[in-house]
């Protein structure tokens, strides 16, 4: 299977990668929907992760939102893993045209990818809800351990909101159109580290009209039967091996 994927990559100069949480878990960023994530949210806050990072909860209980968000959604020490590095290498080689990601950690850019569509936003960008002033992640994390701390704008005093798509919020139209266009034009679509159950993002693969659909995930997905190649293994291991010199 690895040799087949290597050939698919070798024969194409128009690849798009679509990735999910499994790409980041290999950088020690937990999936908040995992059993441990669900337990943590319910045990410590009495709610589900989906409730904790919803727009209505952010507006209603902002200090508790930030307490959960900084402890469970932000991992500033995380580094790109073998999958990120392999994808950056493929872009440098002119083979990979875009990365479409459901992750919010910015690790694809940190590895070197330049064309990245972040469907769910990024923890690295934060803006004042009143005046729009930009703040980096360090500003949000400045008082990470202070209970009840809400990041406020130094210019107008407004609340600073992470540029992350919360539950009940719509995806960014620019990111959607860019991702859809890249997938539609791709000759090869490689999907990795996602079970393809989160919509509307998972529905994006329906726009693919190319020749080869590849699925790399540790467990089976509902789209396996549509794929030309399915590899049930670690995304970092697979991409690392097939892109090695």
pLDDT digit string (tens) for 183-202?
999 999 999 998 887 777 67
Mean pLDDT, rounded, of the chain: 92
Is the model's pLDDT at 170 over the cut of 80?
A: yes
Q: Are residues 21 and 84 in the same domain?
A: yes
What is the pLDDT confidence band of residue 70, given thresholds at 50, 70 and 90? very high
CATH of the domain at 19: 3.40.50.1220
Give the CB-side neighbour count of residue 147, counting CA atoms within 13 A: 0
What is the pLDDT confidence band of residue 205, given thresholds at 50, 70 and 90? confident
Query: Average pLDDT of 89-94?
Result: 97
Please name the residues in contact with 145: beta carbons below 8 A apart, sequence gap of 6 or more: none
Q: How far apart are CA 191 and CA 12, in angstroms?
A: 16
Q: Are residues 40 and 88 in the same domain?
A: no
Rg from Cα positions in the chain: 19
Torsion (CA) 108, 33, 235, 221 in degrees, nearest 10: -120
| Residues above pLDDT 70, as percent of the chain | 96
Active site residues: 120
Q: Are residues 68 and 85 in the same domain?
A: no
Give the per-residue pLDDT at 34: 66
Q: Are residues 216 and 114 in the same domain?
A: yes
Q: Are residues 138 and 69 in the same domain?
A: yes
Q: Which helix (H) or strand (E) holds 42?
A: helix 35-45
Between the alpha carbon of residue 195 and those of residues 65, 125, 132, 171, 220, the distances in Å are 27, 27, 35, 19, 7
Q: Are residues 229 and 186 in the same domain?
A: yes
Q: Are residues 95 and 23 in the same domain?
A: yes
What is the pLDDT confidence band of residue 99, given thresholds at 50, 70 and 90? very high
Query: Average pLDDT of 215-238?
Result: 92
Q: Are residues 224 and 132 in the same domain?
A: no
Q: Are residues 67 and 87 in the same domain?
A: no
Q: Domain total for the chain?
A: 2
Structure confidence by residue, pLDDT tens digits, 135-163: 999 999 987 677 788 999 999 999 999 99
For the full predicted model, state whether its pTM sits above 0.75. yes
Residue 105 belongs to domain spanning: 2-29+79-120+170-242
Q: Using the structure block, give the residue that is written with the tokens 């693969």.
A: 205
What is the pLDDT confidence band of residue 244, given thresholds at 50, 70 and 90? confident
Is the model's pLDDT at 11 over the cut of 90?
A: yes
Is the model's pLDDT at 245 over the cut of 80?
A: no
Is the model's pLDDT at 221 over the cut of 90?
A: no
């Amino acid at each position: 299977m690895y040799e087949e994927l290597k050939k698919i990559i070798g024969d194409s100069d128009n690849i798009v990668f679509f990735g999910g949480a499994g790409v980041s878990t290999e950088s020690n960023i937990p999936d908040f929907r995992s059993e441990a994530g669900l337990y943590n949210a319910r045990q410590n806050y009495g709610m589900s992760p989906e409730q904790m990072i919803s727009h209505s909860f952010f507006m209603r209980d902002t200090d508790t939102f930030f307490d959960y968000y900084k402890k469970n959604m932000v991992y500033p020490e995380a580094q790109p893993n073998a999958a990120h590095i392999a994808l950056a290498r493929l872009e440098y080689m002119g083979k990979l045209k875009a990365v479409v990601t459901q992750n919010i950690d910015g690790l694809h850019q940190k590895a070197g990818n330049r064309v990245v569509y972040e469907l769910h936003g990024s923890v690295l960008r934060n803006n004042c809800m009143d005046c729009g002033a930009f703040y980096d992640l360090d500003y949000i994390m400045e008082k990470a351990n202070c209970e009840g701390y809400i990041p406020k704008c130094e210019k107008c005093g407004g609340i600073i909101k992470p540029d992350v798509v919360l539950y009940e919020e719509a995806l960014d139209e620019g990111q959607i159109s860019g991702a859809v266009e890249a997938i539609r034009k791709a000759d090869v679509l490689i999907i990795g580290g996602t079970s393809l159950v989160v919509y509307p993002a998972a529905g994006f693969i329906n726009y693919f009209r190319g020749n080869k659909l590849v699925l790399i995930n540790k467990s089976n997905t509902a789209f396996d039967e549509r794929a030309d190649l399915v590899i049930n293994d670690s995304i970092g291991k697979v991409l690392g091996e097939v892109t090695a010199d």
